[in-house]
Chains A and B, each alone.
Chain A
Amino acid sequence: AQSVTQLDSHVSVSEGTPVLLRCNYSSSYSPSLFWYVQHPNKGLQLLLKYTSAATLVKGINGFEAEFKKSETSFHLTKPSAHMSDAAEYFCVVSRMDTGRRALTFGSGTRLQVQP
């Protein structure tokens, strides 16, 4: 079984300050992990993915995440928040299930960026 827990439902930061969105996972196997972003009235977009290569993963728009097996964490960070980063972020764990990639989504973290 696999699951993912996003530790904060809402995070508020000021523009120009660092962003930290926390995610812990549980998986019986070596997981693949993703972060997706959903802007208002838009579909989900893949920000970055970890697939058992480098543990520090860089994504689009300056985001990165570090896979820490000992802590079962995959936190998303960005050094300096921009107003356009305001959105909902989903941490996702995936596994192969009978030849298909099954995704399990976290409950989401809403990021608010204050001017």
Chain B
Amino acid sequence: DSGVTQTPKHLITATGQRVTLRCSPRSGDLSVYWYQQSLDQGLQFLIQYYNGEERAKGNILERFSAQQFPDLHSELNLSSLELGDSALYFCASSVDPAAYEQYFGPGTRLTVT
């Protein structure tokens, strides 16, 4: 158990809908990362937050947004969902942005029908 929690574990929704994925980092970790894992694209970095501020953006679509709250939990919002958004979404955390090790949560499996 990495200490990173993600809810929900599974999410099934229809095209055009909006969902919110939630992540709580390990105790003491200030940096949160979101990744998307799909069969065709592999594991891709989406976005990073550090102590409430956006730190870096990767391959995140404009329909997606995220934030990190004062209690350090983070939410990833996915809107106008398309079939191709079906994937496993991972949250990871680290003590700071330069830390070698990132601790991954169990993921949220999103299925868009």
CA distance A94 to B44 in the complex (A): 13
B4 at the interface (CB under 8 A from A): yes
CA distance A15 to B100 in the complex (A): 32
A103 touches B42 (CB 8 A): no
B19 at the interface (CB under 8 A from A): no
Interface of B, secondary structure class, is strand
Interface of A, secondary structure class, is strand
B104 touches A100 (CB 8 A): no
Chain A positions near chain B (C-beta within 8 angstroms): 32, 34, 36, 41-46, 49, 51, 90, 94, 96-103, 105-108
Q: What are 23 inter-chain pairs, A to B, with CB distance below 8 A?
A: A32-B100, A41-B106, A43-B2, A43-B104, A43-B107, A45-B2, A45-B104, A46-B102, A94-B100, A96-B98, A99-B97, A99-B98, A100-B31, A100-B55, A100-B56, A101-B94, A101-B97, A101-B100, A103-B102, A105-B43, A105-B44, A107-B42, A108-B43
